[in-house]
Structure 1
Amino acid sequence: MDLTVHHVMLPHTDPEASLAFWRDAIGFAVRNDVGSGTMRWITLGPAEGGTSIVLYPPDATPGITDAERTAVREMMAKGTYASLTLATADLDATFARLQATDAEIVQEPVDQPYGVRDCALRDPAGTLVRLNQA
């Protein structure tokens, strides 16, 4: 099969805070921004192209019940709903740049026993973002 990852969907609760994180702190380029208010779908990704992240309002998920909507929001608030791993050539420099922003740091860079050097932070919607040394 000839498959690639085209985009990944991550929830947001505050589009402006999400833009400040993904565009301004992470450095991704905005590829599309549709909707208005909190009902916005924002597509971002590396400036050179490749896979996109689509930030979406979870309340707009078709067929979701009120109980499911509540569960999703509770999981987002705890940081257990979504996660994403990104890679960087210089983890320490990337971490230093992110630490200088308002990003919520979860874990400073560390050499993991399974062979990966990584760190972790959360986006404004609670998504756990791990950064691996590439």
Structure 2
Amino acid sequence: MITNVSLVSVFVKDLDESLAFYTDVLGFEPRDDIRLGPDYRWVTVGHPSQPELILHLAIPGPPMSDDLVQAMQRAQAAGGLPGVGLHVDDCRKTFEEFSAKGVEFLQEPADRPYGVEALMRDNSGNWMVLVEPRAYTPADFDGASFD
């Protein structure tokens, strides 16, 4: 029986730069940085308030096919890969803090039926959503606009 989600992979362009971004900018903690043979490095980070969930920072490569690696690299270059969703206690304040650190935002904080949401990119171009959640019901979405 599955008991929880423990690992999520985020594909990045450079392990050292992404490790610095996730720790220095976003506030995650470094977890693992292990060489597994001459050509593979296992790098993970986690958030201090959620020790059971690990983000695996990975560069597209073997055992993926060359075609898949190339497609992922094209998606990375275009900034089209999804990343992760992050809950925040104050989306507008977090937006200001991250903007001051040079984080690229695709969408400034906006009120949504489920809370306040902003859309940003990590340093590899992955989309990341920041959400200051609030309680909602399906009826809250009637007539909602997400422009």
Percent identical among aligned pairs is 29
Q: Give unpaired runs (5+ residues) of structure 2.
A: 134-147
Cα RMSD of the aligned pairs, angstroms, is: 2.1
Cα shift readout 1:31-89 (whole Å, capped 9, x = no counterpart): 111239984322111123231111012113x1x22222111100111222222111011
Match of 1:109 in 2: 109
Deviation at 1:125, TM superposition (A): 1.8
The one-character-per-residue Cα deviations of 1:81-109 (angstroms, maximum 9, x if unpaired) are: 22211101111221111111122211111
Q: How far is 1:27 from its partner?
A: 0.2
**Alignment gaps of 5+ in structure 1:** none
User: Aligned pair in 2 of structure 1 residues 39, 107: CA closer, same or farther (>3 Å)?
Assistant: farther
In structure 2, the residue corresponding to 1:27 is in which secondary structure? coil
The alpha-carbon deviation at position 20 of structure 1 amounts to 2.4
Following TM superposition, the consecutive aligned residue runs of length 4 or more in structure 1 with deviations greater than 6 angstroms are none
CA contact (8 A) 2:19 2:45 kept: no
CA contact (8 A) 1:11 1:55 kept: yes
Change (3 A) 1:2 1:59: closer
The answer to whether 1:131 aligns with 2:130 is yes
Within a 5 Å distance, the mapping from 1:72-87 to structure 2 comes to 72-87=72-87
Partner of 2:41: 40
- The two structures have a TM-score, normalised by structure 2, of 0.79
